[in-house]
C-alpha cells in the first residue's frame, strides 16, 4: 500500500495500550494495537472473546469504564485530533455526528418506552437545530434508507413491535442519521439469525457504498469477515497478530493463530453416513404437538403460539439428528419436550419402544437415560457446587453409592479432557468451553441412551467450538449414543448429523439425510438458510487449509 498516494486515514489508532484493573487476568487489555482505516473502507477487527477487540471500539467512543479500565499509552487520531486527549464535551460533539456506533444486542439498544421516531430524533436534537417538519422528513428518510417497511407507521411505534433484525436496522439508522465519517459496529449481527444477519451485512455494505462511510467492524466470525471486510486486523490476547487486506489474510494467513481461527470454521464438510443403519430405534416421535398460551386471564383468551405442529421423526442408536431452524421455530421446545422438561399437548414419544407419558412421569420413566446438554455454559452449572459433586449428583440420585459415583465422575472428567483435579473446583474457575465439557460429563454420568444437545456450541468461540464438536463426535462413537443436535447453524449441523430436520414456525419443512438436504434442498426455506450462511469463498478455502 502506498501511503502517500492515499489521503489521511479517517481513523488512525497508534500503539494503543489499555490498562485492566489490578487482579485481572492480564495487566493490559490491549497492548500496542495499531490500526488505520481509510474513507469508504471496512476494517474488520477479528478475535475471540477476551482478545480486547471491543475495548478498542469503546476506547474510540470514550466509553471505557474509567478509571478501572483506561487507555494508558498511544493515540487515537480522528479528524486530526487525538480522541484520548479530548474531554467529555469534545467527545460528545463527535459522538453521533462524526462517529456512529451499532451495538451487539438490538433488544436492549433501544429504549422500550420511546417511540422509534423519538429515538432517532434524539440524534438530531443533540447536534443540529431543525424545524419539526424537516426533522420528521429526515427521520422518515433515515428509516427508508435502512430498508424498513412503512416508515410512516414505524416512526410512531414502540420498539417491542419490531423484530431483532428490524431493531438493528433502527439502531443503524440512528448511527447513520447525521452521516458520520466513521461507523463502529460491535458484533452487530451476533445476536441475529443467519438470514437476518445476511440482510444486515448487505445493508451495511450498501449504505457504506452509497455514503462513503468508513466502517470499523468488530466480529469473531471469519465468515462475516469474508463477506464484508476490505482490511482485517486479527487480535489475540490484546495484541494485533496479523493485519492486511481481507482477501490476502483469508487466502494466505501468516500467523498461526489466524490459521487456527480459519481452520476452526465449520467448512460444510458433511458427515459420511454409516453403511448400514442400526435397527434399534431409540427415539420415535409421532405427531408431537405443543401450544403455548400466554397472557390469558379468566375472561380474555391469551395469545396462542404453536411451537410444535405435528412433528414426526425417529432416531436410531448411534445416529444423530440435527434440528435446524431460526429462533422462534420451536426447535428448543421440541428438545425440552423429548427430554421431559416440558409437557406436550398431543402426539406420542417412544423411548426404546416404550410410550412416554407427558409431564412429570416422563422423567421418572426415562430414569435419567435421556440427558441434555444446554446452550449457556454459564447458566447450566450451579455456581455454588463443586464440579465433582455436580457430575456425581445424578448417579447418586439414581441410587449409585457415593464412592462409585465420584469414581465415575473422575473418569468422565478425564474423558472430556479435564484432569481429575477439576473435581474439587468451582464452575467459575473454568472457561466457557471447559464448562461445556463439564456439562457433557454430567450428561454422560447417567449412562444415557439419548443425548439432546440444545445449541451446545453457539455460545463458544470458533476454535473452542471445533474442540467441543470433536468431543461430541468422540463420545457418540464411544457410547453409541443417539443424539438430537439442536442448532441454528447449518455448517455445524452438516458436520455433526446423519439426518437433518429443518424447522420453521413449529413445522418440519424438510427432513432427510444430511448430504441430500444440504446438496439438494427441496424447500425454499432450506435454500434461504443455506444461502444466508456466511462462508469463506471457495477459492480461499483450500489454500487456507494447505497453509
Partner 1 sequence: MKSSFWRRFRRNKGAVFGLVVLALVALVTALGPLVAQHDPWDMAGMPFAAPLAEPGMPLGTDTMGRDILSGIVAGARVSLLIGVVSTVVSLFIGVGVGAVAGYFGGWIDATLMRFTELFQAIPSFALAIVLVAIFEPSVQSIVAAIAVVSWPPVARLVRSEFLTLRQRDFVAAAQLAGQSTPRIILTQILPNAASPIVVMASLMIATAILLESSLSFLGLGDPNRMSWGYMVGSARTVLRQAWWMAVFPGVAILMTVLALNLVGEGLNDGLNARADGKGK
User: Rule CB under 8 A: which residues touch partner 1?
Assistant: 21, 23-24, 65, 68, 339-341, 363-364, 367-368, 370-372, 374-376, 379-385, 393-394, 397-398, 426, 439, 442-443, 446
Please, which residue, 187 or 242, has the CB nearer to partner 1? 187
Output the nine-digit C-alpha cell for 100.
456512529
| Distance in angstroms (rounded) separating the CA atoms of residues 235 and 539 | 24
Please, which residue, 269 or 384, has the CB nearer to partner 1? 384
Please, which residue, 126 or 397, has the CB nearer to partner 1? 397
Report how far Cα 224 is from the mean position of its chain's Cα atoms.
12
Q: What is the dihedral of CA 510, 514, 520, 521, to 10 degrees?
A: 30
Count Cβ atoms within 10 A of the Cβ of residue 186 and give its class: 0-12 exposed, 13-18 middle, 19 or more buried: buried
| Distance in angstroms (rounded) separating the CA atoms of residues 171 and 281 | 49
Please, which residue, 68 or 522, has the CB nearer to partner 1? 68
Q: How is 67-85 classified by DSSP, letter by letter?
A: TTSEEEEEEEEETTEEGGG
Please, which residue, 268 or 389, has the CB nearer to partner 1? 389
| Distance in angstroms (rounded) separating the CA atoms of residues 318 and 308 | 25
Count Cβ atoms within 10 A of the Cβ of residue 346 and give its class: 0-12 exposed, 13-18 middle, 19 or more buried: middle
Output the nine-digit C-alpha cell for 424.
474439587
Please, which residue, 226 or 391, has the CB nearer to partner 1? 391
Please, which residue, 64 or 174, has the CB nearer to partner 1? 64
Per-residue b or e along 225-250, where b marks 16 or more CB atoms closer than 10 Å to that residue's CB? bbbbbbbbbbbbbbbbbbbbebeebb
Please, which residue, 401 or 542, has the CB nearer to partner 1? 401
Mutual angle of helices 432-444 and 387-397, in 10-degree steps:
20
The distance of closest approach from Cβ of residue 32 to partner 1 in the complex, given in angstroms and rounded to an integer, is 23
Please, which residue, 62 or 340, has the CB nearer to partner 1? 340
- Alpha-helical runs (H) found in 480-535: 490-496, 514-519, 524-532
Please, which residue, 49 or 111, has the CB nearer to partner 1? 49
Within 8 A by CB and 6+ apart from 166, the residues are 148
Q: Determine phi and psi for 43, rounding to 5 degrees.
A: -110, 120
Widest Cα–Cα separation across the chain: 77
Query: From its phi and psi, is residue 151 left (phi > 0), alpha (psi between -120 and 50) or beta?
Result: alpha
Please, which residue, 68 or 209, has the CB nearer to partner 1? 68
Is the Cβ–Cβ distance between 140 and 128 less than 8 Å? no
The distance of closest approach from Cβ of residue 364 to partner 1 in the complex, given in angstroms and rounded to an integer, is 8
| Bond before 493 cis per omega within 30 degrees | no
The distance of closest approach from Cβ of residue 366 to partner 1 in the complex, given in angstroms and rounded to an integer, is 8
Q: In Å, what is the CA distance from 145 to each residue of 118, 138, 526?
A: 17, 10, 29
Is the Cβ–Cβ distance between 445 and 394 less than 8 Å? yes
The distance of closest approach from Cβ of residue 230 to partner 1 in the complex, given in angstroms and rounded to an integer, is 31
The distance of closest approach from Cβ of residue 21 to partner 1 in the complex, given in angstroms and rounded to an integer, is 5
Mutual angle of helices 387-397 and 402-415, in 10-degree steps:
130
- Alpha-helical runs (H) found in 212-341: 222-228, 246-251, 256-264, 331-339
Please, which residue, 393 or 509, has the CB nearer to partner 1? 393
∠ at Cα 138 (132, 141), nearest 5°? Answer: 145
The distance of closest approach from Cβ of residue 351 to partner 1 in the complex, given in angstroms and rounded to an integer, is 13
Amino acid at each position: 500500500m502506498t501511503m502517500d498516494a492515499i489521503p489521511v486515514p479517517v481513523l488512525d489508532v497508534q500503539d494503543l495500550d489499555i490498562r485492566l484493573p489490578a487482579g485481572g487476568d492480564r495487566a493490559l487489555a490491549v497492548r500496542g494495537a495499531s490500526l488505520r482505516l481509510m474513507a469508504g473502507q471496512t476494517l474488520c477487527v477479528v478475535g475471540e472473546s477476551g482478545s480486547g477487540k471491543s475495548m478498542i471500539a469503546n476506547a474510540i467512543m470514550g466509553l471505557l469504564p474509567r478509571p478501572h479500565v483506561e487507555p494508558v499509552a498511544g493515540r487515537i487520531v480522528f479528524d486530526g485530533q487525538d480522541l484520548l486527549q479530548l474531554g467529555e464535551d469534545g467527545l460528545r460533539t463527535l459522538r453521533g455526528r462524526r462517529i456512529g456506533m451499532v451495538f451487539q444486542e438490538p433488544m436492549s439498544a433501544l429504549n422500550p418506552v420511546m417511540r422509534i421516531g423519538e429515538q432517532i430524533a434524539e440524534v438530531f436534537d443533540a447536534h443540529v437545530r431543525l424545524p419539526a417538519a424537516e426533522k420528521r422528513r429526515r427521520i422518515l428518510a433515515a428509516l427508508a434508507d435502512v430498508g424498513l417497511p412503512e416508515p410512516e407507521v414505524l416512526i410512531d411505534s414502540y420498539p417491542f413491535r419490531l423484530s431483532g433484525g428490524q431493531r438493528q436496522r433502527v439502531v443503524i439508522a440512528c448511527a447513520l442519521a447525521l452521516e458520520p465519517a466513521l461507523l463502529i459496529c460491535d458484533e452487530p449481527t451476533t445476536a441475529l439469525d443467519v438470514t437476518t444477519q445476511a440482510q444486515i451485512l448487505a445493508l451495511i455494505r450498501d449504505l457504506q457504498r452509497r455514503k462513503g462511510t468508513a466502517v470499523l467492524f468488530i466480529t469473531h466470525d471469519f465468515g462475516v469477515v469474508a463477506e464484508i471486510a476490505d482490511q482485517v486486523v486479527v487480535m489475540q490476547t490484546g495484541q494485533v497478530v496479523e493485519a492486511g487486506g481481507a482477501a490476502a489474510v483469508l487466502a494466505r494467513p501468516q500467523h498461526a493463530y489466524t490459521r487456527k481461527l480459519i481452520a476452526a470454521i465449520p467448512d460444510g464438510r458433511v458427515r459420511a453416513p454409516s453403511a448400514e443403519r442400526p435397527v434399534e430405534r431409540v427415539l420415535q416421535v409421532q405427531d408431537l404437538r405443543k401450544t403455548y398460551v400466554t397472557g390469558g386471564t379468566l375472561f380474555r383468551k391469551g395469545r396462542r403460539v404453536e411451537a410444535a405442529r405435528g412433528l414426526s421423526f425417529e432416531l436410531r442408536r448411534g445416529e444423530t439428528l440435527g434440528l435446524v431452524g431460526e429462533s422462534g421455530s420451536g426447535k428448543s421446545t421440541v428438545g425440552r419436550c423429548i427430554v421431559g422438561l416440558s409437557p406436550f399437548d398431543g402426539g406420542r414419544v417412544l423411548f426404546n419402544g416404550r410410550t412416554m407419558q407427558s409431564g412429570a412421569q416422563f422423567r421418572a420413566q426415562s430414569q435419567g437415560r435421556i440427558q441434555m446438554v444446554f446452550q449457556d455454559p454459564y447458566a447450566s452449572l450451579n455456581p455454588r457446587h463443586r464440579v465433582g459433586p455436580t457430575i456425581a449428583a445424578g448417579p447418586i440420585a439414581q441410587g449409585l453409592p457415593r464412592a462409585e459415583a465420584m469414581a465415575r465422575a473422575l473418569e468422565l472428567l478425564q474423558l472430556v479432557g479435564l484432569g481429575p483435579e477439576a473435581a474439587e473446583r468451582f464452575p467459575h474457575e473454568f472457561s466457557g468451553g471447559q464448562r461445556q465439557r463439564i456439562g457433557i460429563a454430567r450428561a454422560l454420568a447417567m449412562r444415557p441412551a439419548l443425548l439432546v444437545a440444545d445449541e451446545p456450541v453457539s455460545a463458544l468461540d470458533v476454535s473452542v467450538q471445533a474442540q467441543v464438536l470433536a468431543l461430541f463426535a468422540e463420545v457418540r462413537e464411544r457410547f453409541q449414543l443417539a443424539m438430537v443436535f439442536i442448532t441454528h447453524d447449518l455448517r455445524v449441523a452438516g458436520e455433526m448429523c446423519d439426518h437433518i430436520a429443518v424447522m420453521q414456525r413449529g413445522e418440519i419443512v424438510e427432513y432427510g439425510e444430511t448430504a441430500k438436504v444440504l446438496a439438494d434442498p427441496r424447500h425454499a426455506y432450506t435454500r434461504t438458510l443455506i444461502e444466508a450462511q456466511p462462508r469463506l469463498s471457495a477459492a480461499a478455502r483450500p489454500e487456507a487449509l494447505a497453509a
